[in-house]
């Protein structure tokens, strides 16, 4: 796999600046947990979408759920943009909740060898992310599933989260495509990785179908 320059905004700003973002992220996590409980069918439909069109209907329904809004946000003023519930972030948070509900199945995922061929998946078209980010995340889900699990088990903004992200650095370097500059927040990175691990858990054939030759990129 070829190397590239990477820029990650991993929460190195001051604690004062990071605290509101962490609190906001925790609220958005609770909103995602509510959606998984209240609307499991649409959650699955969104996470299993393979085009922007097939993702649009469940996304709009989930991003505008009055019951979960009232439970999580109460009477406070709310904007989906404020809570980071854009398509890519909502998918990641929903994927986290789904993964955390199946600890035995997730723990059984074993690391696969790095492959020479590209990590291309049909679900990339439905995420709202740059394809290079999803490709990196798919590679990470194959080669370092336990690292992703360690990350999603942490509370956003906590020192444990910083440590888990730092521990992922060697795998990230190996999995990023040549020529790609990744400028992503810690939460955007976390969302992409959770989404990719969910996809591997639910469609493992994609990780082994083209396997004969060894490593990606």
Containing domain of residue 207, as a range?
7-213
Does residue 186 belong to any structural domain of this protein? Answer: yes
Q: Which of 35, 4, 10, 39 is nearest to 157 (CA)?
A: 10
Structure tokens at 5: 């320059």
In a domain, 185, yes or no: yes
Residue 118 inside a domain? The answer is yes
**125 with 52: CB under 8 angstroms?**
yes
Whole-prediction pTM? 0.83
Residue 11: predicted pLDDT: 36
Judge whether 2 lies within some domain: no
| Cα 154 from Cα 171, distance rounded (Å) | 19
Separation of alpha carbons 82 and 118, rounded Å: 35
> Which residues, at least 6 apart from 150, have a Cβ–Cβ distance to it below 8 Å?
164, 167
Three-class DSSP category at 134: helix
- In a domain? residue 1: no
Look up residue 139 and give its two tokens.
């590679």
Instruction: With respect to residue 172, please indicate whether it lies within any of the assigned structural domains.
Output: yes
- Reduced to 3 states (helix: H, G, I; strand: E, B; else coil), residue 104 is helix
Strand partners, 8: 184
Q: What is the pLDDT along the chain (217 residues), one digit of tens a residue?
A: 333 334 443 333 333 345 555 666 777 888 889 999 999 999 999 999 999 999 999 999 888 777 887 888 776 655 555 555 799 999 999 999 999 999 999 999 999 999 888 899 999 999 999 998 999 999 999 999 999 999 999 998 889 999 999 999 999 888 986 556 666 688 899 999 999 999 999 999 999 865 444 444 4
Structural domain tally of the chain? 1
């Amino acid at each position: 796999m070829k190397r590239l320059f990477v820029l990650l905004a991993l929460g190195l700003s001051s604690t004062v600046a990071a605290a509101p973002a962490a609190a906001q992220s925790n609220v958005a996590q609770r909103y995602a947990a509510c959606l998984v409980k209240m609307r499991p069918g649409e959650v699955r439909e969104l996470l299993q979408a393979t085009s922007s069109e097939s993702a649009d209907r469940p996304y709009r329904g989930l991003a505008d759920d009055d019951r979960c809004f009232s439970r999580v946000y109460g009477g406070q003023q709310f904007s989906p943009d404020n809570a980071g519930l854009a398509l890519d972030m909502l998918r990641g948070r929903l994927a986290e909740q789904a993964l955390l509900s199946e600890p035995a199945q997730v723990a059984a995922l074993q690391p696969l060898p790095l492959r020479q061929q590209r990590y291309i998946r049909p679900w990339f078209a439905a995420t709202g992310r740059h394809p290079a980010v999803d490709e990196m995340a798919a590679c990470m889900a194959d080669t370092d599933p336990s690292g992703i699990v360690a990350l999603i088990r942490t509370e956003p903004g906590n020192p444990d989260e910083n440590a888990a992200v730092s521990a992922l650095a060697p795998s990230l370097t190996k999995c990023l495509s040549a020529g790609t500059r990744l400028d992503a927040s810690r939460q955007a990175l976390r969302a992409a990785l959770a989404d990719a691990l969910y996809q591997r858990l639910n469609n493992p054939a994609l990780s082994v179908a083209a396997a004969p030759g060894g490593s990606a990129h």
